[in-house]
Chain A
Amino acid sequence: MNKEKILEVKNLKQHFQTGRKSVVKAVDGISFDIYRGETFGLVGESGCGKSTTGRTIIRLYDATSGEVTFNGIDVHGTKSKKDLKKFNRQMQMIFQDPYASLNPRMTVKEIILEGIQIHGLIKSETEKMERVEALLETVGLNKEHATRYPHEFSGGQRQRIGIARALAVDPEFIIADEPISALDVSIQAQVVNLMKELQEEHGLTYLFIAHDLSMVKYISDRIAVMYFGKIVELADSEELYKNPLHPYTNSLLSAIPLPDPDFERTRERTIYDPTQHDTEDAEFREVKPGHWVLCTEEEYKAYQDK
């Protein structure tokens, strides 16, 4: 794979002030790189900060501290309106809830065209219509759908509209925040297949945020596991599943129910106990090439022998 970095996140922190003295450290110093053309999975349980990470990267929140570099440019640095527009075009987002993320008072055509209009990409009306029709076809809908409103569609179809909207401005990088969690199993497969196809055709890079580990494993090249605002493990998806090192990753993997009754009958769940190891001195260390774990010096040595 071409190892050009498209996104670099360095020691990113996102703290929310929730009272005069209380601060929620939703994201607490995480670092990772995403390479062009890959799918980077970010998993963790609710409240671990995975969505906040995605939203901070795309500037929906201003970072408390740390650095996000996209195509060599600092995302959170002050920018002119023009630069900001350019950035927004390159990075798009697909949201979890296809019911809440589409404006119910806009037609599908208006929803898809909004970005194109803001960026002034296409001027003529006929070309705009052609573009909308082409996009609808790309995501598996047909042109008759352009004049309809979101409520006329099923969940899976709505998510396709959300994808068409994201694609409209020809982005390089798409953040998909739980894009399939609200959908039925058979429809999930349709949407995931579509996202994979689009990635091949358009050379997209994805940050795929989810809690469904089996789907993340299926779609991602590399996966980072988050726990309480920190990344505890990062590795190639194959390596992460075959050789999970951090005890939290282990417990998370052991909790996924698999569609295999014999396996389920014999399954032993491991329970993660955060008090078992020292989290104060833990640092993010590369145990094997490409396999990073949050651990102490002692654990680091133990992991290397594994």
Chain B
Amino acid sequence: MDPILDVRNLHVSFDTYGGTVQAVRGVDFALKKGETLAIVGESGSGKSVTTKALMGLVAKPAGHIPKGEILFDGKDLTKLSNKEMQKIRGKDMSMIFQDPMTSLNPTMKIGKQIMEGLILHQKLSKKEARNRAIELLDLVGIPDSTKRIDQYPHQFSGGMRQRVVVAIALACNPKVLIADEPTTALDVTIQAQILELMKDIQKKMDTSIIFITHDLGVVANVADRVAVMYAGKIVEVGTVDDIFYNPKHPYTWGLLGSMPTVDGNDEKLIAIPGTPPDLMNPPKGDAFAARNEYAMQIDLEEEPPLFKVSDTHYAATWLLHDDAPKVEPPEAVKKRMKGNISAGEENRS
């Protein structure tokens, strides 16, 4: 089946006084219909910038796309004018942002904010749009929707506000939904509700979702496939089982090892030493080499290509080269790879 969205060799750069920051340095991925692709990585890894490029939200003139294609519906989105992009944004592709307080307009009733897209894209009359908005509020689980539609954002709690943002994003039945850390600002119980809501809606509407997060627990919960980003590149991509049970890239090991397990061992967490590289002057060779205890001479000289692990699983590390020494992942990561559930967790379920 053809992918609904195909990103090829995408580069995004920002001009600053200090020089050009190469935030995204060649990203390839395809998004299939109805699947959820999670993009994980630290802040500054380029995950948000990648999705902003998809939505045509890279701030010009400082930000630009020097290379690459974003193929959607037979069109290359990087070539479209702002006006053409406006027809796609909010209709075929829409976005849920991290902070539901700043992504809603505090001076507008939430009903009007939901209706905006419906009137603009679907050419509904005001009355039709209002009825549809009430349906949407019901869909995202806001009780008393006929009354709530005439309220302002400050009258809603954080979780309820995020539901409103989801309703706006879903208003025109988008084919692609981009969620940029949609639950990071929320409490765990509310987070669980929003994640359940998104999965539920995906099932009903067959939406494709790109889910950005740095919480690997959330990834395990929502994703079908996972792309791990580091320093503007995808360093490992695979199905959710590939990434959690058979990770190949040392950076992925580091991410998995830095999360405590709930089974009560008092081992030290594996912290990834150091900080991500400066993308104004990306290092030669593998960008992760400086923080990688398994780095070899070649990592400092040449960038690793994406090695194929299986049909669904690729990783960019020289460790997968035939000549590389066989390296075992750290103990804490190996334990996860078996996927065994400890006594404590069994007790909880």
Contacts and interface: CB of A to CB of B under 8 A. Distances in A.
Interface of A: 45-46, 154-157, 184-190, 192-193, 196, 211, 213-215, 217-218, 237-238, 241-244, 250-264, 266-269, 272
Nearest to B251: A186
B221 A241 contact: no
Contacts of B191: 255, 257
Contacts, number: 137
A209 B297 CA distance: 44
Contact of B262 (A190, A192, A258): A258
**B interface, over-half SS:** helix
Interface stretch (B49-57, B109-117, B129-137, B339-347): B339-347
A252 B269 contact: no
Contacts of A237: 264
Nearest to B192: A255
23 contacts: A45-B188, A46-B187, A155-B43, A156-B275, A184-B43, A186-B255, A188-B258, A189-B272, A190-B271, A217-B264, A238-B264, A241-B264, A250-B348, A253-B348, A256-B262, A260-B341, A261-B223, A261-B241, A261-B244, A262-B241, A263-B341, A263-B349, A266-B349
B32 interface: no
Interface of B: 42-43, 158, 187-192, 195-196, 214-221, 223, 240-241, 244-245, 254-262, 264, 268-273, 275, 336, 339, 341, 343-345, 347-349
Nearest to A262: B339
A187 B254 CA distance: 11
A185 B347 contact: no
A156 B192 CA distance: 27
A256 B217 contact: yes
Contacts of A186: 42, 254-255, 258, 271-272
A107 B67 CA distance: 41
B262 A257 contact: no
A258 B192 CA distance: 12
A10 to B, nearest CB: 28
Contact of A192 (B42, B269, B345, B347): B269
Nearest to B241: A261
B215 A185 contact: yes
Contacts of A187: 42, 271, 275
A188 B270 CA distance: 10
Contacts of B275: 154, 156-157, 187
Contacts of A262: 241, 339, 341
B192 A269 contact: yes
Contacts of B240: 261
A169 B287 CA distance: 40
A211 B158 CA distance: 15
A264 B223 CA distance: 10
